[in-house]
Amino acid sequence: MKEKGYAGLDYFRLIAALLIVSIHTFPLISVSQEADFIFTHIIARVAVPFFLMVTGFFLIPELLKGKDGHKGFNALGGFLKKTSLLYGVAILIYLPVNIYTGTFKDKLSVTGIFKAVVFEGTFYHLWYLPASILGALIVSLLFTKFSHKLVLGLTLFLYLIALLGDSYYGLTEQVSYLKGFYDILFMLFDYTRNGLFMTPVFLALGGLIALSGKKYTIKTCLTGFAAATALLLTEGSILHTHQLQRHDSMYLMLLPCMFFLFHLLLNWRGKARNILRSFSMLIYIVHPMCIILVRGFAKAVHLTGLIIDNSIVHFITVTAASIVVSAFVLLVFYKKDKDVKKDRAWAEIDLNNLDCNINEFKTILPKSCNIMAVVKANAYGHGDIEIAGELNKTGINAFAVATIEEGIRLRKNGISGEILILGYTFPEQLYKLKQYDLTQTVVDLDYAEILNVANRRTKVHVKIDTGMHRLGENYNDIFNLYKIYECKNLIVTGTYTHLSVSDSLEQQDVDFTNLQIDMFYKTLENIREAGYNPGKIHLQSSYGVLNYPYLKCDFARIGIALYGVLSSENHKTRICVDLQPVLSIKARVVLTKEITKNESVGYGRQFTADRKTRIAVISIGYADGIPRTLSCGKGHVLIHGKKAAIIGKICMDQLMVDITDIAEVRQGDIATLIGRDGTESVSAEEAAAHSGTLTNEFLSRLGLRVTRNYINNACCTNKSRFAINLKNSLTSFKFSIKSSQLFSIIRE
């Protein structure tokens, strides 16, 4: 789940947990019994099937991948172990309540203990845990023995048996032999809502959705879900009106309803939220205890009429208490998913600094000019999905990438807003532009004609070459530009150019930049006078903003400066902004040793000690993106707040540094290649300059072996980081609803 980022499933976990709270608190009962029945006994019944389908979705494919070996067994074993442990802890939590209420007195027989532990749960809401264990065992056995269609058929048959003992029992008891059959069943358990009859079909359904890989459009999912929900409400209301229900956990239309709901949530892709998984499960476990506490508190302070008798207030109070208790438990026991101490080399990405940089640029840009964040090349090595996701939260809804693959990657991970492809997309891939709602750059008239004959409407930005002489139709070829705007299948939403020397304040470069600016605006004027709409205008990149902030544009394409650094430490700009570096690079000391005078280090014996020397081997090399040109003293790292020169040639996976003058360096210590350690610092601009390149190249080369650890404050503790992550998860929930994937329904 971490890899694919099923954000919709994570967020709906929280909704499902709150629906279960509503089932046990009847939030509308004091308003309308009918309304409460519809909400808590029909609509809220999607919660448990959802949890079961999520389990099947991730468990079954893993099971089948390793059915001829140990992997499948390990996947099933891990699930059973985890759920059994959770069940055991939950039993201990509610043991005092059961003793106090005398519940165990009726369950101390062998049959009673068996029913409680295997089917019923030792407290009323805990039935789900043994049910998921038993259901997982049954479904796993079926999948390893039978075809997928037969598994679905068998589990549907079990579900039909469950229905006749649940919502349709009023029909069953009218048939004597059926009633006799269920009388026997009810000696083993009180409800057919259990792991033998109910859970297998939803576990199987989740697994089959994962195995098929079939995707449905959001419009199809919404239509199917709406129709199934309407039929579900009708079914539940009819059964309730005719008093046919022995219990109300299961309905026939719950199956198609869950099918379309689950597919709808799968369309909502984005960053996985591990915290919400634990958070929702905790709410599920603790909410009955919170019901008891709220009721006790209300009686103690004589507020029963307000807190208990008013069902809405009661639901809100219990929900709030459950959230607070669950958050407290997570706060106490929370651990980061990734312990950086286990990483050989990692980059720390400070999202706080990213937000600060955004605010800095907003203060110098005209109010009418929005930021188009350039996140190509994996956001200059910072991680495109995480960076774009954070920017979405801050209100940035325009992004620029270099390739269609980069754009698709953003879309698949839930990034909303306009995504402009700055580079060339080959004709064979053009159909993906509409599929993923991407905007293509028109690089010249010939390319416009290729796009135009593709028999699909394509959103584009027209690139005008004003002197860069890379991509774009030349501003002198005005009639060619007119022809581009006349292409019927092109939806021109923007026009732009690129300033080639806006980073320089040398007079000749300033003159050339001003010439480019003049040519661009004159060309736009000609385009408008000819009756064409150029759409949104943009020509500034990072240096264009810092040296020419007054230009009237709709967008400013900010790239390298967004990440708190400039392309070169020698570049001066007209506007001074307080940029904060977003990225730092660190690695581990894996070995220290001492060499004598005249001994050499590394490949080619490029370093020879002129004294007794202590060296440290650092677990990062040129395969991780550290330029080999920093070898032999041109670069250095920070250890214990002091500089240690790189000696010898940088290797593929390691580099060596001189630590003779740094005391007590040990295996496992942190070496900072980019960033601050104490009073010393190494900037990306400095490292790039010493390696003979630009900061852009230096950061973009950062390898995938370097783990990215995202933090909101470099000084955060684990506990405060949990609070931030939880807040971000809930905030992201709000922003994700606005994603272009959901809005595509309107466009269609």
SS3 per residue for 595-611: ECCCCEECHHHCEECCC
Q: What is the pLDDT of residue 547?
A: 94
Q: What is the pLDDT of residue 557?
A: 96
Query: Which of 603, 612, 719, 738 is flagged as catalytic?
Result: 603
Rounded Cα distance, 558 and 356, in Å: 14
Percent of the chain with pLDDT over 70: 90
Q: What is the rounded average pLDDT of the residues 211-227?
A: 91
Q: What is the largest CA-CA distance in the chain?
A: 100
Task: Give 720's pLDDT tier (boundaries 50, 70, 90).
Answer: very low
Rounded Cα distance, 339 and 419, in Å: 33
Rounded Cα distance, 204 and 564, in Å: 49
Architecture of domain 353-563: Alpha-Beta Barrel (3.20)
* Distance linking the first and last C-alpha atoms of the chain: 30
Q: What is the pLDDT of residue 342?
A: 64
Rounded Cα distance, 97 and 112, in Å: 18
Catalogue the E-assigned strands of 321-413.
345-350, 370-374, 398-401
Q: Where exactly are the structural domains of the chain?
A: 42-272, 353-563, 583-682
Residue of 205, 253, 252, 248 whose CA lies nearest to 226: 253
Q: What is the rounded average pLDDT of the residues 203-230?
A: 93
Of 271-285, 666-680, 709-723, the poorest mean pLDDT is in: 709-723
Q: Give the chain's mean pLDDT.
A: 89
- Give yes or no for residue 106 having a pLDDT over 80: no
Q: What is the pLDDT of residue 325?
A: 93
Q: Hunting for tokens 């990438």 — which residue is that? A: 401
Query: Which contiguous run of DSSP H or E holds residue 589?
Result: strand 583-595
Q: 583-682: which CATH topology?
A: Lyase, Ornithine Decarboxylase; Chain A, domain 1 (2.40.37)
Spatial CB neighbours of 7, under 8 Å, sequence gap ≥ 6 = 268, 269, 270, 271, 272, 273, 414, 732, 736
- Give yes or no for residue 717 having a pLDDT over 50: no
Of 63-72, 204-213, 649-658, 715-724, the poorest mean pLDDT is in: 715-724
- Give yes or no for residue 722 having a pLDDT over 60: no
Q: Hunting for tokens 């292409």 — which residue is that? A: 487
Instruction: Summarize pLDDT for 246-295 with one digit per residue, the tens.
Output: 999 999 999 999 999 999 999 887 666 678 888 999 999 999 999 999 99
Q: What is the pLDDT of residue 120?
A: 80
- β partners of residue 709: 348
DSSP 369: P
Rounded Cα distance, 109 and 120, in Å: 14
C-beta separation of 572 from 582 below 8 A: no
Residue of 77, 56, 55 whose CA lies nearest to 66: 77
Spatial CB neighbours of 92, under 8 Å, sequence gap ≥ 6 = none
Buried b (16+ CB within 10 A) or exposed e, 125-139: bbbbbbbbbbbbebb
Q: What is the rounded average pLDDT of the residues 528-556?
A: 95
C-beta separation of 477 from 464 below 8 A: no
Q: How many residues in total does the chain contain?
A: 748
DSSP 625: T
Whole-model pTM?
0.57
Query: Which contiguous run of DSSP H or E holds residue 677?
Result: strand 670-677
How far are the Cα atoms of 47, 186, 194 from residue 159, in angstroms, in the given order? Answer: 17, 16, 10
Query: Which contiguous run of DSSP H or E holds residue 60?
Result: helix 47-65
Q: What is the rounded average pLDDT of the residues 408-435?
A: 93
Query: Which of 115, 271, 376, 459 is flagged as catalytic?
Result: 376
- What sign has the CA pseudo-torsion 231, 235, 236, 238? positive
Residue of 259, 349, 304, 280 whose CA lies nearest to 56: 259
Token output for 307:
């807190």
- β partners of residue 555: 370
- Give yes or no for residue 60 having a pLDDT over 70: yes
Q: What is the pLDDT of residue 101?
A: 72
Token output for 536:
């949104």
Task: Give 70's pLDDT tier (boundaries 50, 70, 90).
Answer: very low
Task: Give 320's pLDDT tier (boundaries 50, 70, 90).
Answer: very high
Rounded Cα distance, 622 and 46, in Å: 52
**Identical fold between 353-563 and 583-682:** no
Task: Give 569's pLDDT tier (boundaries 50, 70, 90).
Answer: confident
Token output for 52:
């079961």
Conformational region of residue 241, where left means phi above 0, alpha means psi within -120 to 50, and beta covers everything else = alpha
Instruction: Summarize pLDDT for 156-184 with one digit per residue, the tens.
Output: 999 999 999 999 999 999 999 999 999 99
Q: What is the rounded average pLDDT of the residues 220-248?
A: 95
How far are the Cα atoms of 27, 162, 531, 581 from residue 252, in angstroms, in the given order? Answer: 25, 10, 59, 57
- The CA radius of gyration of the chain, in Å to the nearest whole number, is 31
Spatial CB neighbours of 243, under 8 Å, sequence gap ≥ 6 = 170
Rounded Cα distance, 568 and 555, in Å: 24
Q: What is the rounded average pLDDT of the residues 527-553?
A: 95
Q: What is the rounded average pLDDT of the residues 96-100?
A: 79
Residue of 504, 589, 496 whose CA lies nearest to 551: 496
Rounded Cα distance, 115 and 131, in Å: 12
Token output for 128:
């789900």
Task: Clarify whether 612 is annotated catalytic.
Answer: no
C-beta separation of 435 from 466 below 8 A: no
Residue 290 half-sphere exposure, CB side, CA atoms within 13 Å? 25
Task: Clarify whether 6 is annotated catalytic.
Answer: no
3-state helix vs strand vs coil in the chain, percent to 5: 55, 15, 30
Token output for 655:
């580099």
Task: Give 198's pLDDT tier (boundaries 50, 70, 90).
Answer: very high
Rounded Cα distance, 335 and 254, in Å: 37
Q: Hunting for tokens 């001066």 — which residue is that? A: 572
| CB count in 10 Å sphere of residue 193 | 23
Q: Are strands 490-496 and 458-465 parallel, antiparallel or unpaired?
A: parallel
